Amino acid sequence: MSVKTSLSRITLLSLFVIIAIAGVMVAILPVIQKPIYDDWVQIWPNFTVGHLGLITVASTYISTGLGVLFGYMGDKFPRIKVIIIGGIISSVFSIFTFFATNYLQLFFFQVIVAVGNGSMAPAIYSIFSDSYKSENRGSAFAWLSIITGFIGGLIGTLLFVEIALIDWHLPYLIMGIIGLAFIPILFLLKEPPRGGSENGLADIYKSDPSLSFQYVIKPEDIKYLWKRRSNLFLIPNLVDNIPGGILFTYGVSWLAFDHGLNPDNGLILLALVGLLSMVGTFGFAHIGDKRLKSDNLIRIKLGIILSISTVPFVLLGVNIPWDATGLDLVQTLMTPIVLTVALIIGAGMALDAGIYPNWLSAITEINLPEQRSTMISLGRFFDACGTGLGELIGALILIFMPGEYTFMMSFAVLFTFLSFIWWVPALKFYRKDYEEVQNILSKRAEELKPKVKSA
């Protein structure tokens, strides 16, 4: 880590907490689909789980679409302020969700929660990119991915499954209150200087942090960014997120309706898959970090290999028939076929999970520090488009083909194979773009040296 002060560590720890809170808020709806369905199907006979999936789809697209605007704001204004605004929005509307009595209210409140969460993410990722050197950046992003998707999402929601069975509104009230309670801490945080971890600039900004504010994004930069051809292929790469959108949104329901698992046991099984995903996230992020100095194309190469390797594992795993109806948790976990399926799907998801930290690091390293929040937000928008497309595919299949969970999973997984269409062309342009950014940063360091104020 290039920023060593205790205050900077507190900042990073606080951002870990706030993104974990956001992760739980996002993950609540998919794991409480059945209680909501059981509650509302008695009132609206045509109501399906697919209608709840549409809420997740809308939240994904609207939040990440507006997140591009907040990403630009994060490059132009203090990022902590952007995070505070987003945190207040998501927390307040999570509390409002507690009072939702119909589908339209739930839809509206959850979309606004997602807008708040989506506005925070680019600024948080940008701060982390300025806090870790390139050879450690993939592992830092791996931690963020794990905290958002696994620790914040899966483990956090495990705590709410039983509460949701009492009243599915309660988790939203609890998380909204926790989110608001944490906001005052954000006012005390200090963000690192933009580019504060880059070679050559780190020592200069440490001596005189005010110099980093000479570089902020300008509207004309947006057009210039696309002249780096790697951005054209890395940013719109969305298809490898389609299976994740399906599994995340409908995984618990799939295990309940197709395989007889109650939501508690289903989440435990998904937690096992999540643990294997963690291994892939850290393992392949570490490989990308350690090989970067000797091969600055390593992250692109990993993206190609991992996107192709994911498909056969997940496709096989979701098509193996098994039934755990009437089994308790211990019996479920002691059933060989259940463990086999979990390990096969987990292996596939571990390969898939290794893509994200390398993809995010690759985007960071071919854009200047004052442009990263914008480009990360654009990347996350297309990333979310893939997730949302998976959610939409699942919703439409369940609405027009009720109960066809296995077909839905199989159909979505096939899209992952197409990911190499974006990764392969990036091989041609990435080294040139990477070296161009490194040269600009080196020139900046030389230009700024005479401007450093004496302590």
User: What is the pLDDT, as a whole number, of residue 109?
Assistant: 93
Domain CATH code at residue 132: 1.20.1250.20
- Within a domain: 214: yes
Q: Closest Cα to residue 129, out of 113, 141, 119, 111?
A: 141
Entry pTM:
0.74
Which residues in 125-152 are b (16+ Cβ under 10 Å) and which e? bbbbbbbbebebbbbbbbbbbbbbbbbb
Cα dist. 344→242, 252, 340, 348, 369 in Å?
Answer: 18, 17, 6, 6, 40
Q: What is the DSSP letter of 294?
A: T
- Within a domain: 65: yes
State the DSSP H helix or E strand holding residue 283, giving kind and residue range, or none if neither. helix 263-291
- Within a domain: 437: yes
pLDDT digits (tens, 9 = 90+) for 335-349: 999 989 999 999 998
Residues 6+ apart with CB under 8 A from 301: 295, 427
Greatest CA span in the chain, whole angstroms? 74
- Within a domain: 148: yes
User: What is the pLDDT, as a whole number, of residue 8?
Assistant: 67
- Within a domain: 34: yes
Distance separating the N- and C-terminal Cα atoms of the chain: 23
- Within a domain: 82: yes
Question: Residue 51 corresponds to which tokens in the numbers above?
Answer: 């209608």
Per-residue pLDDT of the chain in tens (455 residues, 90 and over written 9): 444 444 467 777 788 788 778 877 877 787 777 788 888 877 887 888 778 878 877 887 787 787 778 777 877 788 888 899 999 999 999 999 999 888 889 899 999 998 888 888 888 888 887 777 777 888 888 877 777 666 666 666 667 777 777 888 888 898 899 889 888 888 887 777 777 677 667 677 767 666 655 566 666 667 767 778 888 888 887 777 777 777 777 888 888 888 988 877 887 888 788 888 888 988 999 999 999 888 989 999 999 999 889 889 988 998 999 998 888 888 888 899 998 999 999 999 899 889 888 988 898 888 888 788 788 888 878 877 887 777 778 888 888 888 888 888 888 777 777 777 888 889 899 999 999 988 888 888 887 777 776 54
Q: What 3 state SS string does 166-197 have? A: HCCCHHHHHHHHHHHHHHHHHCCCCCCCCCCC
How far is 255 from 44, CA to CA, in rounded Å? 24
User: What is the pLDDT, as a whole number, of residue 5?
Assistant: 45
Cα dist. 392→199, 330, 380, 397 in Å?
Answer: 43, 34, 17, 8
Please name the residue ranges forming H helices in 77-169: 79-97, 103-129, 134-146, 156-166
Amino acid at 123: A
Would you tell me the crossing angle of helices 134-146 and 103-129 to the nearest 10 degrees?
160
How far is 194 from 215, CA to CA, in rounded Å? 8
Handedness of CA 27, 30, 36, 40 (dihedral sign): positive
How far is 404 from 398, CA to CA, in rounded Å? 6
The full DSSP string for 201-219 is THHHHHH-GGGGGG----T
Answer whether 165's CB lies under 8 Å from 118's CB.
no
Question: Residue 177 corresponds to which tokens in the numbers above?
Answer: 């209150």
Give the number of residues written for the chain: 455
Q: How many folded domains does the chain comprise?
A: 1
* DSSP E strand boundaries for 337-439: none
Neighbour count for residue 450 (Cβ, 10 Å)? 6
Q: What is the DSSP letter of 152?
A: I
Question: Residue 63 corresponds to which tokens in the numbers above?
Answer: 């939040």
Handedness of CA 159, 163, 165, 167 (dihedral sign): negative
Work out the burial of residue 301: count CB atoms within 10 Å of its CB; fewer than 13 is exposed, 13-18 middle, 19 or more buried: middle
- Within a domain: 1: no
Which residues in 50-77 are b (16+ Cβ under 10 Å) and which e? bbbbbbbbbbbbbbbebbbebbbbbbbe
User: What is the pLDDT, as a whole number, of residue 219?
Assistant: 67
HSE-up of residue 61 (Cα within 13 Å, Cβ side):
12
Q: Which domain holds residue 78?
A: 6-451
User: What is the pLDDT, as a whole number, of residue 220?
Assistant: 67
How far is 106 from 209, CA to CA, in rounded Å? 45
